[in-house]
Amino acid sequence: MRFKIGEDDDGNKIKIKFKYFMEYLIYQKDDSPLYLFESLSDNNEEVKEWKEHYSIPKFFPDDLFKIVTICLCIC
């Protein structure tokens, strides 16, 4: 399966197979590393199956967007 990792200068999607992205993650030393996103994941059966096996890593238990939103409302 290929996932979107960005767009070229003409606005065309740049996609990469997941296995190659994982290899990139292991060896990359970029200041601004690439990241995956798949905006159509709700319509993709393969991605839905992957989501069932995903759990939030122990290092990121909090929803940082929710925390920022609360802080902005309080300030």
Look at the pTM and tell me if it is higher than 0.75.
no
Under the banding of pLDDT at 50, 70 and 90, the label for residue 20 is very high
Nearest one of 34, 3, 40 to 19, comparing CA atoms = 3
DSSP secondary structure letter of residue 12? -
Using the predicted structure, report yes or no on whether residue 31 has a pLDDT greater than 80.
Answer: yes
Going through 1-75 in order, the beta strands assigned E by DSSP cover 2-7, 13-17
Predicted confidence band of residue 42 (pLDDT cuts 50, 70, 90): low
Pick from 31-35, 38-42, 64-68 the range whose average pLDDT is largest: 31-35
